[in-house]
């Protein structure tokens, strides 16, 4: 199946498509034959302001290449406005087949200084937004007995990172949301998968570059351009992945990873039950060799992108 027809006849909603990874996914889906709703509210990295320009620019590129696109500047973070994003697909193209939940903001701050506003703003866009837009499309997917969700998660949630309690919690929550969608909607031939993207974009541009080591790391990160994530998103949205659901993938330059998911790895049993003292004396020492390290994604993925 060639790139030009992999999504022929399908209609995709891509949130956060005014720039970065979202724009590249929107462009790739259009090249693959989909009509695309470019959904972007045009706010700053931290969620302030608003502009129609980023979404219009993505739409213009798609149309210059011969594709079809419409713009929605509604917020994903409210139930009613998320409904209007999906309605834009129906009004513009008559159906909806694909939802890419990519919209996001950052409010990075060390946990003991994080404000309720920092927490709520990030949860609203990433986690609530992924639910609202997915839920808005669900009835249409159910009735037509087909549909594909692609959600953006992050190694900040899957593995860990400093100063991102809000973002990490939201991104790991998206994994749980995706798995639940996959389970609940499998009977309707609806699929749901996650991608944890590695890419240099405005979402990573705040990484410090003060020391030679930080500058060298930054140079490697800048090689991981946002477009590297688009081919996997197109494939997961297509009929070529009709049997792929409930999975978590990652793209790191030219590498594609499949992540494992949480399962029990060790057990210990006492036929007469446990006291707190027995847990401290026997259970914890037995488990300790299998404890997961307190690492960040940068610690566990130490090799250069290839």
Residues recognised as catalytic? 167
Nearest one of 147, 173, 145, 148 to 158, comparing CA atoms: 173
Which residues, in sequence order, are CB contacts of 18 under 8 Å at separation 6+? 38, 40, 42, 53, 54, 55, 57, 58
- Measured CA angle at 95 (ends 188, 231), to 5 deg: 80
Alpha-carbon distance of 229 to 275, in angstroms, equals 50
**How crowded is the C-beta side of 92, counted as CA atoms within 13 Å?**
22
Q: For residue 274, is it left (φ>0), alpha (ψ between -120 and 50) or beta?
A: beta
Rounded to the nearest angstrom, the gap between the alpha carbon of residue 265 and the centroid of all alpha carbons in its chain is 27
Alpha-carbon distance of 217 to 101, in angstroms, equals 28
């Amino acid at each position: 199946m060639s790139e030009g027809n992999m999504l022929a006849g399908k209609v995709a909603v891509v949130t956060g498509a005014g720039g970065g990874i979202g724009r590249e996914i929107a462009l790739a889906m259009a090249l693959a034959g989909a009509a695309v709703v470019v959904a972007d509210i045009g706010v700053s990295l931290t969620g302030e302001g608003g502009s129609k320009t980023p979404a219009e620019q993505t739409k213009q590129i798609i149309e210059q290449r011969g594709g079809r696109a419409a713009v929605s500047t509604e917020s994903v973070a409210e139930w009613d406005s998320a409904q209007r994003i999906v309605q834009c697909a129906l009004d513009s193209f008559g159906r909806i087949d694909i939802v890419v939940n990519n919209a996001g903001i950052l409010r990075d701050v060390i946990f003991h200084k994080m404000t309720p506003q920092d927490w709520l703003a990030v949860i609203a866009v990433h986690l609530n937004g992924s639910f609202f837009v997915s839920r808005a499309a669900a009835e249409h997917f159910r009735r037509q007995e087909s549909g594909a969700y692609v959600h953006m998660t992050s190694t900040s949630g899957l593995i860990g990172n400093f100063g991102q309690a809000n973002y990490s919690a939201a991104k790991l929550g998206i994994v749980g949301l995706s798995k639940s969608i996959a389970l609940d909607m499998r009977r309707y031939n609806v699929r749901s998968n996650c991608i944890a993207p590695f890419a240099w974009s405005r979402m990573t541009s705040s990484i410090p570059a003060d020391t030679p080591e930080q500058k060298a790391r930054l140079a490697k990160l800048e090689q991981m351009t946002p477009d590297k994530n688009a081919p996997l998103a197109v494939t997961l949205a297509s009929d070529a992945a009709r049997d792929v659901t409930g999975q978590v993938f990652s793209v790191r330059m030219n590498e594609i990873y499949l992540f494992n998911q949480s399962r029990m790895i060790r057990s210990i049993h006492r036929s007469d039950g446990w006291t707190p003292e027995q847990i401290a004396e026997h259970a914890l020492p037995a488990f300790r060799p299998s404890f997961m390290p307190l690492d960040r994604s940068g610690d566990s993925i130490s090799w250069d992108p290839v």
